Structure 1
């Protein structure tokens, strides 16, 4: 008897994931626990569409219950565990499905049988009462032992449980999955399909159905009087199309046209989730204008955008760098109070920063903070760095550093470095030094780069004592000033004409780094030329060559101009010109003319002197 009950059970719960809670509870109370039962109702692979072996309507009544499609019934109750086809004739006395096909062992079969017997005195384990089941079977015995009336045929039970003609469904799916070009509506009409919501749902849930044919099938079905369109079925269609990897832009626009057509007559069927799926689909196809159009049609079709709607639209527009439109959506989002979670807010901030709308990104951050939806620290770092790049927002970035907790600021080296760099760029050396002192006290620990920025800023401002003090502080913290650090200090001294101090710093740098860079020598040469110590500048150039660093055209050009314009020494200038030729360097034409002009000027002066003496 339990096999008859199991047959009805399988028929009723052929949909995936519908195992009665009573059975699960019974299995859990077994003592001692047996090995886990294989789930005979586990969901099949999508390609089998939940009925790979089902042929509920393929039995020829004239043949006495023998399957018409070549399926052979088992021998009867004498050999119930003999392997055979998944579906057999119930009228011939055989079971609906062999235990081995369902994955049962003999012990498990007894377990299922006992479970049914224990539940026989209670409500129907399939979800209804005994009276309800008897009523479905057309009355009859209300005995607890009978779940399906003995006088009812298997076809009647199947008709009550499953209203889908599986063979016709498979034919329809075969056509919809094929790439054969046939008229869709006429082909479906010839199949004489019996439409129901369950039938349409099965089609929409089946993978590998071509998107254009799926839309065409839905249009065709919506015209049939026996099919009543619902929001859930429409949502399932949109999900099926948007979730398809091979969905093209033309098919996406076809779906959008269908939704607009439905919205004109049956507005109540459209939901916010349907619109969100469409926005996401167009975003995936990088059709930002279409996503924006869908977003703007919410109110027209009686829907209200939620936080996900705003986020998906901003994402679609940002992909195509339409940041002005993205900000307009942000404004509506902030006004509505519908904000996504912190991570998505962070992504919105990052997109706005990439679009150089850092002030707007900062406003989004402040609003999210007020609503307790602060973004992750990584996005705050991005915002701080973006604000630091603009001169007029550096101090706003400085204020954001106070939002870092004691723990998070330990790892916030990059945003702190960006702020100090911005402060030094706008020549706010004093504030930069205060921030550096704050970093030394409470973190993050500054490195050479941050010290160099502040030292350079102090040197340009003429605060040489503070710059030297920072060098000593670097050394005390175990940091080693690099050549750039020494060059910055030398430049500060040379700018003020303090060449002796600059030379001392140069000598100290040379002790630490035997081979310096050309910039270091260049600072000395320019500094000595500035105070008109040309011979000392010439000695620095020779020292540079002796240390293995070849002067470039810029050094020679500076020296030649200095000797010609200030020292009026065209002879030394010509010697430098010869050195350049030997090194393969070429002097600019205007500088060459300068040497000739100084030489000619000197000759004219000599002639005038001779003429006066004569």
Structure 2
């Protein structure tokens, strides 16, 4: 009896454990099956709200769409909403729908929505709505032609583009290097009711410079007063960059003088362009003088300013001076690039300046850069064949500590 009771008790416990395990497995399976259809449950929940006869306010409708976890479901929910008597979509709703479709990369569906809006004609849209759509077409979808089409199609939606939206399209064309399209868009400004501003002319000028057409770019500079616009520092900086790219650094400095005579102060970007132009011509001394001239103008150099001068010194193999400039940059809380450290260590190793190599190596690591295998080989070679045993010990200790 005792054995039988003991066996029965163990048997019951075994059954309970089995049932418990089975229950756990069932719950897991149920959860696993339910998880993929969570979006369907979500849609069903909102479908219930849309099927309910109570009148829905625009705020309630927005909440329904914003709470949709599956961006693709917005189309089916929109179709369901359109069957209601209180169907009254507005700009905020369509903006939300389009943004959700963009998030899901359903750009064809966005085109369908835009066509639907045009056919329905149930609400008015602001320029900001089309700015958003054009930005999605251009930046996210890479559909520049669709962005252009939307710009010209805006009047059919009873909305005229602002100069901001117009300039967005010009910028997209410049970024995509579609220089042949820029002139056509620019000349359509009057047709679209857009009043040209300085930003518009600057974008046009940038496109011409990037296309290498400096003659036409200077023609645009002459257009500023004709359009009742004033060129700014960005206008001149763009032209200077174009001239420096062509190697016409002297002309770029001539523009600097013209700009300053017109009462326009050069900024850090302007000076950096000129320093870079001087560096490409091997004029390191002039670049260093310009760096000091910046400060006299009340324009403090940034990391890019110092970096261009540093590259110039490295190009000229003036490695000890380059090392001093690295120290100056760090004191100014600016970090030289990894390429700078690589070139500097290479040059110092070639000149067997072991102590300088030691300093640069430690500084580089302190700045968060990790030397690569090729750099280690150069350092070890410099240490092995260096003339100064004392310096060799310094670097050997550094290599050992970093390697460990």
Please confirm whether the aligned pair reaches a TM-score higher than 0.5, indicating the same fold: yes
Query: Secondary structure in 2 aligned to 1:537?
Result: helix
Q: Is the 8 A contact 2:256 2:266 kept in 1?
A: no
In the TM superposition, what are the counterparts of 1:189-588 in structure 2 within 5 Å? 290-295=45-50, 316-320=64-68, 322-330=70-78, 340-341=87-88, 344=89, 346-355=91-100, 356=102, 359-373=108-122, 375-378=124-127, 379-405=129-155, 412-440=162-190, 442-513=192-263, 515-564=265-314, 566-573=315-322, 576-577=325-326, 580=329
Contact 2:144-2:172 within 8 A present in 1 as well: yes
Mapped to 1, the partners of 2:192 and 2:320 lie a distance apart of 61
Q: 1:480 to 1:576 in 2, by over 3 A?
A: same
Q: Where do 1:144-183 residues align within 5 Å?
A: none
Secondary structure in 1 matching 2:97:
helix
TM-score, reference length from structure 1? 0.43
- 1:354-383 CA-to-partner distances (Å, cap 9, x unmatched) read 222554233122123234546434544543
For 1:518 and 1:545, how far apart are their aligned partners in 2? Answer: 10
Q: CA deviation at 1:473?
A: 1.1
Q: Do the aligned residues in 1 keep the contact of 2:43 with 2:68 (CA within 8 Å)?
A: yes
Asked if 2 retains the 8 angstrom alpha-carbon contact of 1:317 and 1:323, the reply is: no
Q: Distance in 1 between matches of 2:77 and 2:300?
A: 59
CA contact (8 A) 2:91 2:124 kept: yes
CA contact (8 A) 2:197 2:227 kept: no
Q: CA deviation at 1:524?
A: 0.9
- TM-aligned CA distance change 1:353 to 1:562, over 3 Å: same
* Deviation digits for residues 37-81 of structure 1 (CA, Å, limit 9, x no counterpart): xxxxxxxxxxxxxxxxxxxxxxxxxxxxxxxxxxxxxxxxxxxxx
Structure 1 residue 492: Cα displacement: 1.9
Do the aligned partners of 2:107 and 2:141 also contact (CA within 8 Å) in 1? Answer: no
Unpaired segments ≥5 residues, structure 1: 1-286, 605-614
- Distance, in Å, in 2 between the alignment partners of 1:396 and 1:339 is 32
| Alpha-carbon offset, residue 546 of structure 1 | 2.8
- Aligned pairs, how many? 307
Against the structure 1 CA distance between its residues 307 and 474, is the aligned structure 2 distance closer, same or farther, given a 3 Å change threshold?
A: farther
- In structure 1, how many angstroms separate the alpha carbons of the residues matched to 2:77 and 2:349? 73
CA 1:425–1:580 in structure 2 vs 1: closer, same or farther (change >3 Å)?
A: closer
Give 1 or 2 for the bigger CA radius of gyration.
1
Equivalents in 2 of 1:362, 1:601: separation in Å? 62
State the Cα distance separating 1:547 from its structure 2 match. Answer: 2.1
| Cα deviation, residue 572, structure 1 | 4.2
After superposition, the Cα gap between the structure-2 partners of 1:333 and 1:546, relative to the gap in structure 1 and judged at 3 Å, is: same
CA distance in 2, matches of 1:462, 1:468: 12
Structure 1's 395 and 597: CA in aligned 2 closer, same or farther, altered over 3 A? closer
2-structure distance, mates of 1:453, 1:391: 22
Answer whether contact 1:310 1:333 (CA < 8 A) is retained.
Answer: no
Q: In the aligned structure 2, how far is the partner of 1:555 from the partner of 1:332?
A: 59
Kindly tell me: are residues 482 and 374 of structure 1, through their superposed partners in 2, closer, same or farther at Cα, counting changes over 3 Å? same
Structure 1 residues 509 and 353: alpha-carbon distance in aligned structure 2, compared to 1, 3 A threshold: farther
Unaligned regions of 5+ residues in structure 2, if any? 1-41, 354-404
Q: Is this contact kept in 2: 1:307–1:340, CA < 8 A?
A: no
Q: TM-score, normalised by structure 2?
A: 0.62
SS of aligned partner of 2:142 = helix
Equivalent pair of 1:288/1:319 in contact (CA under 8 Å): no
Distance 2:342 2:150 in 1: 57
Shift, 1:399, TM fit: 1.3
Contact 1:385 1:418 in 2 (8 A): yes
- The Cα of 1:414 is off from its aligned counterpart by 3.3
Q: Is the 8 A contact 2:275 2:287 kept in 1?
A: yes
Distance across 2 between alignment mates of 1:363 and 1:443: 27
The question of whether the paired residues in 2 share the 8 Å contact of 1:388 and 1:418 is answered with no
User: 2: distance between equivalents of 1:486 and 1:423?
Assistant: 21
2:358 aligned residue = none
**Residue 413 to residue 315, structure 1, CA distance change in 2 (3 Å):** farther
Q: How large is the RMSD of aligned CA atoms in angstroms?
A: 4.0
Structure 1 residue 532, shift from structure 2 partner: 2.1
**Shift in Å, 1:522:** 0.6
Counterpart residue number, 1:598: 347
> Residues 374 and 464 (structure 1 numbering): CA distance in 2 closer, same or farther, change over 3 Å?
farther
